[in-house]
Amino acid sequence: MPQTAETESKLIQAYGIFLFENDHPTVKELEEAYVPSVHGHKTWDSSFLIMDYLLHKHLLKPKKKVMELGCGWGPASVFCAENSGAKVTGVDLDEDVFPFFQAQAEINRVKVKTLRKSFQQLKKAEFAKFDLVFGADICFWDSLTPIHFKLIKRALKAGVKDIIFADPGRSPFYELVELCQKHFQAEYLDWYSVEPEKFEGYILHIKNS
């Protein structure tokens, strides 16, 4: 879709990329054909924590292979592809989020891949293809804490170097932090992002020793 004054005014600019506001014409057009579920209906704020953290920790390198868990519209994936030319795959159970993800990639002129799978379906063989795995705002139900813990364990065994979760501070996330600190080399940090506005939250970074 050609950019006009109206469409440009309905874009969020943050960390060097453009993202759709919910009332952007492209979003409205896509919503006529696709109905995302499982909360894949907007850009979540913890994605900006991921972007800021990756920048400050210098964790992005050219051609690095990156997986975003529960990618939704994939803002942090788009950021990784734009920032360093990383080879990015967005994973989500809901295939209806992928048209929104691809549209955001297109307005930033980057390429991304998608994979439709649940967290439980991701096996060691798939994780072995990636250097960095992250997820933003994906630990929101109590039932997800053990699922993510097992996922992290599989990813570490597969050789993933860094696994990062960002969250505003829900109790299931805190439980995941405690489990990871007990069993893995895990760092838990207060963090904030500064674009498109200040947002405060928390980072869990598990490193493969």
| Structural domains for the chain | 5-207 (3.40.50.150)
Per-residue model confidence (pLDDT) at position 6? 43
Distance CA 71, CA 91 (A): 6
Per-residue model confidence (pLDDT) at position 9? 72
Are residues 199 and 49 in contact, defined by beta-carbon separation less than 8 angstroms? yes
Tokens, residue 124: 């060691």
Per-residue model confidence (pLDDT) at position 41? 63
Torsion angle, alpha carbons of 73, 78, 79, 82, to 10: -160
pLDDT by residue for the chain (209 residues), tens digit each?
A: 434 434 567 899 999 999 999 899 998 999 898 987 755 566 889 999 999 999 999 999 888 999 999 999 999 999 999 998 899 999 999 999 999 999 999 999 999 999 999 999 999 999 999 999 999 999 999 999 999 999 999 999 999 999 999 999 999 999 999 999 999 999 999 999 999 999 999 999 999 97
Distance CA 62, CA 88 (A): 11
Tokens, residue 51: 């972007």
Per-residue model confidence (pLDDT) at position 140? 93
The neighbouring-strand residues paired with 113 are 89
Element containing residue 192 per DSSP (H, E): strand 185-193
pTM, rounded to two decimals:
0.92
Per-residue model confidence (pLDDT) at position 4? 41
Are residues 9 and 21 in contact, defined by beta-carbon separation less than 8 angstroms? no
